[in-house]
Structure 1
Amino acid sequence: MKFQLIIAFSILGASGNALASEVDVNSARTSLKNYGLANCISNQFKNQSDIKSDIGLAIGAYSAMGKGQHAISQNEDTLEVIHDPYAETEKFMTDAYAKASSTSKQSGKNVVFYSCLEIYNSPAFEAFIKSQDAYISD
């Protein structure tokens, strides 16, 4: 009986660690997705405004210098950036926006928020975010 309890607690502990690990991965993915969405919106507006400033603060919060959970990979000797998940995410959003921006029938202007949300919720962006899992910090 004692041996069975030890095994049961060991299994529960292992599955709890797996669950915590999965939660961390999902949290990191969400953070990087939010970073991408904030950049997508902010990059479409060139003039400074209260909203653009606020979104800029969110970008900082989701970045590696804020609460971002992805590591920027660098060469240890030269400090050259090998891979930057944040720069790659911004590039993904910029490229996707250029292809998928929607135009309002009433105004003839691009509908930035709508377009960025469409990209944010796309299977392609989800797959891209998952491709950055190797850079999640421990």
Structure 2
Amino acid sequence: MTRSQLIVLALLLVSGRVISAEISIDKARETLKNYGLANCISGQFKDESEIKSDIGLAIGAYSSMGKGQHLIVQNEDTLEVTHDPYAETEKYMRNAYARTSSVSKHSDKKMVFYGCLEVYNSAEFDAFVKSQDQYLPK
């Protein structure tokens, strides 16, 4: 192989890693967003049901014990959690949902799915999720 062919090959390998890293970050963000959406919906229903149970399984699948890629940070000496991206996502969704105006003209009750999707699809939630990138493995 010539030197220029080796350089091209090296660039392709490096760019492939960069693309792979971007895909991994995008997937990690998507998983954290899905975790937030599932928690938002589930948190609005107090009674147990098949749907709530199913959403609970999804929450587990999207968590750090499932497909979640974000790291929970602990103090090495005390093992106290110093940052939990999943708990922060739950808190963010709970607070943002409380601020949504998703009352139907046909009912006085808030439309849970609609309100949670409003938060999920917001630029603010996207920015929050990106702020958690620092807790992804390097």
User: What TM-score comes out, normalization by structure 1 length?
Assistant: 0.98
Could you give the per-residue CA deviations for residues 34-54 of structure 1, whole angstroms, max 9, x where no partner exists?
000000000000000000000
- 1:9 matched to which residue of 2? 9
* Per-residue deviation, 1:108: 1.2
Task: Give the superposed CA RMSD.
Answer: 0.9
SS at match of 2:68: coil
Q: Is contact 1:101-1:112 (8 Å) kept?
A: no
Structure 2 equivalent of residue 41 of structure 1: 41
3-state SS in 2 of match to 1:64: coil
The yes-or-no answer on 1:136 pairing with 2:116 is: no
Distance in 1, Cα, partners of 2:95 & 2:52: 20
CA distance in 1, matches of 2:76, 2:42: 32
Instruction: Give the TM-score normalised by the residue count of structure 2.
Output: 0.98
Misfit runs of 4+, over 4 Å = none
In structure 1, list runs of 5 or more residues that go unmatched: none
> What residue in structure 2 maps to residue 60 of structure 1?
60
Unaligned runs of 5+ in 2: none
Q: CA deviation at 1:67?
A: 1.3
1:60-100: CA deviation from partner (whole Å, max 9, x where unpaired): 00001111100000001100001000000000000001111
**Counterpart position of 2:106:** 106
CA contact (8 A) 1:97 1:119 kept: yes
CA distance in 1, matches of 2:112, 2:104: 10
Q: Residue 65 of structure 2 aligns to which amino acid in structure 1? A: M
1:71 aligns with 2:94: no
Q: How far apart in 2 are the matches of 1:118 and 1:27?
A: 21
Identity %: 63
